[in-house]
């Protein structure tokens, strides 16, 4: 007996499993953007939004999207954009390269 399964059913099942296991293809992650709140909790040791803005964005203006970086609306005040958004793939690479340049224990004044 032969069982026939439509290719679209298999494709959808594989994609669902890949996403569930966080095995999203690199191209998909490159386009992925997350909020500053999610970013700070997951990648910045749960420091406050102000800490991320002062310690990372203000000291490293190359992170700003308008300078070719990965932080969209880093001040949170640009007209037409609500909140700050992070280009996840670029941010992860940048943080890995600059981890030693950031004092993760620094307190805000």
The answer, as to whether pTM is greater than 0.85, is no
Q: What backbone phi and psi angles, to 5 degrees, belong to 28?
A: -70, -40
> Which tens digits make up the pLDDT trace of 45-100?
999 999 999 999 999 999 999 999 999 999 998 888 889 999 999 999 999 999 99
Which residue ranges make up each domain of the chain? 27-101
Q: Give the closest residue to 108 by CA, choosing from 61, 44, 65.
A: 44
Beta strands in 3-98 (DSSP E): 33-35, 71-72, 85-87
Cβ count within 10 A of residue 41 = 13
Q: 85-87 and 33-35: which strand pairing? A: antiparallel
């Amino acid at each position: 007996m032969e069982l026939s399964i439509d290719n679209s059913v298999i494709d959808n099942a594989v994609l669902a499993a890949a996403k569930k296991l966080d095995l999203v293809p690199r191209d998909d992650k490159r386009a992925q953007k997350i909020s500053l709140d999610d970013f700070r909790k997951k990648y910045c040791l749960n420091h406050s939004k102000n800490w991320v803005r002062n310690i990372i964005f203000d000291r490293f203006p190359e992170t700003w999207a308008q300078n070719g970086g990965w932080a969209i609306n880093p001040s949170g005040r640009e007209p037409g954009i609500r909140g700050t958004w992070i280009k996840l793939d670029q941010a992860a690479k940048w943080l890995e390269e600059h981890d030693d340049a950031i004092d993760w224990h620094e307190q805000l004044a």
